[in-house]
């Protein structure tokens, strides 16, 4: 796991699996005293989750009092394995998804672990999920996190802006390594609407943390946003013939594209 500080109040830890990002954020330091800490999303591997409390402590942050998940895909929900006493907050849409699909995230995690022979010290527990109104705000010490709707990749989700630090945690959007994906209940129109909302936030950001891939500067995030917008429009018009963004044409991204085409085809049938 790699960790980098984006601001004195923000650290990003990146998993070795799928370059999945976990963002640790605290309220602004007041009178040299550390304030409340939240952890947004999660790394994946057991050793990474085991190291997360030490990383928080070594950075001088308080033990997290809350966890946030940008959406309900299992790889973003593992914070309780690192901080079992902290409540997990998410958008109301995500809480509804988890309630409608009880045990789905745990089953997908077990499938992942079985495939890669991963052993975990305890199972994932998601019994204490707290729904949060989105759009909305979430107090963090003396500061506030802004919660913005982010649907389209899947049917639920939110992006989280730490305005005092200039950091936007975008969930599974604005990735420089993955094309937009729609095969898990996503919707291209909702995705384009989310891109529009995120674009409106970028003037207030210095850094954007996608769900997967490198942290982006504002300028690079704008480039990725326009590439993603162009791809989604082309996908709707040309289907299989849509051109992928130039830096995202690997074999895996081609497979993701094929799944997008199949997902749109099934929607139209």
**CATH number for the domain formed by residue range(s) 2-268:** 3.60.15.10
* Interior angle at CA 54, CA 33 and CA 207, nearest 5: 70
pLDDT in tens, the chain (269 residues): 999 999 999 999 999 999 999 999 998 765 455 579 999 999 999 999 999 999 999 999 999 999 999 999 999 999 999 999 999 999 999 999 999 999 999 999 999 999 999 999 999 999 889 999 999 999 998 899 999 999 999 999 999 999 999 999 999 999 999 999 998 889 999 999 999 999 999 999 999 999 999 999 999 999 999 999 999 999 999 999 999 999 999 999 999 999 999 999 887 65
Structure tokens at 128: 């204490």
Cβ neighbours for 224, distance < 8 A, ≥ 6 positions apart: 174, 175, 176, 216, 245
Angle between helices 218-238 and 251-268 (to 10 degrees): 50
Domain map of the chain by residue range? 2-268
Burial class (CB in 10 A: 0-12, 13-18, 19+), 50: middle
Number of residues written out for the chain: 269
> Is-above-0.85 flag for pTM?
yes
């Amino acid at each position: 796991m790699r960790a980098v500080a984006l601001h004195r109040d923000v650290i990003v830890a990146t998993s070795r699996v799928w370059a999945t990002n976990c963002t640790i954020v605290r309220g602004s330091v007041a009178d040299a005293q550390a304030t409340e800490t939240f952890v947004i999303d999660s790394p994946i591997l057991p050793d990474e989750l085991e190291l997360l409390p030490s990383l928080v402590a070594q950075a001088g942050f308080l033990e997290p009092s809350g966890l946030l998940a940008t959406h309900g895909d299992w790889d973003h929900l593992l914070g309780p394995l690192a901080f079992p006493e902290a409540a997990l907050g998410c958008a109301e849409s995500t809480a509804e998804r988890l309630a409608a699909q009880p045990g789905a995230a745990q089953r997908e995690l077990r499938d992942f672990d079985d495939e890669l022979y991963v052993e975990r010290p305890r199972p994932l527990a998601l019994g204490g999920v707290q729904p949060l109104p989105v759009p909305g705000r979430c107090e963090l010490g003396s500061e506030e996190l802004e919660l913005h709707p982010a649907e389209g990749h899947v049917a639920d989700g939110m992006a989280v802006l730490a305005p005092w630090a200039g950091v936007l945690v975008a969930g599974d959007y604005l990735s420089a390594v993955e094309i937009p994906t729609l095969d898990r209940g996503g919707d291209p129109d909702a995705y384009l609407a989310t891109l529009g909302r995120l674009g409106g936030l970028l003037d207030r950001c210095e850094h954007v943390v996608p769900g997967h891939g490198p942290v982006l500067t504002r300028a690079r995030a704008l480039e990725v946003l326009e590439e993603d917008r162009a791809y989604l429009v082309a996908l709707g018009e040309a289907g299989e013939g849509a051109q992928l963004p130039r830096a995202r044409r690997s074999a895996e991204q081609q497979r993701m594209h094929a799944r997008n085409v199949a997902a749109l085809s099934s929607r139209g049938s």
